[in-house]
Amino acid sequence: MSTQLPKGMEHHPDILALREHAEAVTSTTGAQGVEALAICTGLFLAISPWVVGFSEFPGLTISNLVLGIAFAVLMAGYGPAFGRTHARAWACVVIGAWTVIAPWAVNGGAHVRRTILTNVITGGVMTCLALAAVGLAFTGMTGMARRRD
């Protein structure tokens, strides 16, 4: 009588431990707060051209709409699948940084104070939230390394 071990990486003890730790990290109030604020920030960026009143700039309007939705979707998917998708947060750092420079890059010289203020503040918040998510992922990884030592 032979016992067969399950095949595949999904049953590897390190993977199982990482998933367990990821669930513990994402169930904290801080991680849930980062995710909720990130979703709200992304949705605000998406509707900001109409709320703040700069929808007359089609390039920046489309940029904010697309990137705001992308940021919200990426960060919304971040929490439930933390162990497998923490790299999404790095893409969100890039989205946040682009949001900061978009008024100059996309508007083509039409510098309107409300576009600059909205994008710089929102992009800064997005970048900070994405870096917080990266930090949570890093904390999760170093916690796993310490447990093995």
Per residue in 26-49, pLDDT (tens digit) is: 567 778 888 899 999 999 999 999
Question: Which residues contact residue 10 at a Cβ distance below 8 angstroms, ignoring those fewer than 6 apart?
Answer: none
Tell if the pTM clears 0.85, that is, is over it.
no
d(CA 124, CA 5): 49
d(CA 116, CA 66): 18
Radius of gyration of the chain (CA): 19
Question: Which residues contact residue 1 at a Cβ distance below 8 angstroms, ignoring those fewer than 6 apart?
Answer: none
d(CA 97, CA 123): 6
- Which token pair is 17? 């431990």
pLDDT value of position 78? 59
pLDDT value of position 136? 77
Work out the pLDDT band at 146, boundaries 50, 70, 90.
very low
Tens of pLDDT along 83-103? 555 678 889 999 999 999 999
